[in-house]
Homo-oligomer: A and B are copies of this chain.
Amino acid sequence: MSAHSDKEKGKPRAAPRPPADPERRAAILTAAQNSFAQKGFHRTTMREVARQAGLAEGTLYNHFENKDALLLGLFQALGEQTRADLTLPTDAPPRQALKAVLAAPLRALAQDNFALFRVVVSEALVRPELGQRFAALLFEQAPPELGGTPPLPALPTLQALMTGLALHQALRHADPTPDPDALADAWSEQVLALLLPEPQEAS
């Protein structure tokens, strides 16, 4: 029973968001990701997200201020995911390291994240502030230390390439990406073949 009747007290508001239950938050974000992935952000209703999360609409607003906050939450999640996957060991031989650099963004976007990628990019393309943040996220990371490799002249360019390939994939909507790692490897190989025509084994 929830007979609050707190209107009587006129209690001063002190804790706007006391618990912020991170579990619930994550569940809602997952639901949002799934829902948005199917129909896009604008064609998905809050009700759908709520049902997908097994909650009522109103509950969503206890965890996210509005629909847009849901999108931003996803954005941030994608960012963390991407950034996390970019922490790569760079003590490998140059070729391996470079391959890792190239494969990273693709792998980050693969699998479940492809859907996320679609949704976020779809909106980022149309909302400057999102777009800029996203571009920075994807392209302008500090290039990881590449062993003894001479600094590749166009690392961002290469990353753009990989992202372009990812875009290609995303646009094709070949939904169940069969094997993201294999795909990343294959593409990396292909690009490397262009860049370093001679496969000089370093080890």
Residues of chain A having any CB pair with chain B under 8 Å = 1-2, 4, 12, 14-15, 27, 39-43, 54, 118-119, 121-128, 131-132, 134-135, 138-139, 153-154, 156-158, 160-168, 170-173, 187, 190-191, 193-195
Contacts and interface: CB of A to CB of B under 8 A. Distances in A.
A173 B39 contact: no
A194 B195 contact: yes
A168 B163 contact: yes
Nearest to A156: B168
Contact of A154 (B15, B132, B193): B193
Given A4-B54, A164-B163, A171-B132, A157 B190 contact: yes
B131 A173 contact: yes
A173 B132 contact: yes
A93 B171 CA distance: 33
Copies of this polypeptide in the complex? 4
B171 A131 contact: yes
Contacts of A54: 2, 4
Contact of A119 (B121, B126, B156, B168): B126
Nearest to A131: B171
A166 B170 CA distance: 15
16 contacts: A1-B14, A2-B15, A43-B126, A118-B125, A118-B126, A121-B125, A125-B125, A132-B172, A132-B173, A153-B190, A153-B193, A154-B190, A160-B161, A161-B161, A161-B164, A163-B168
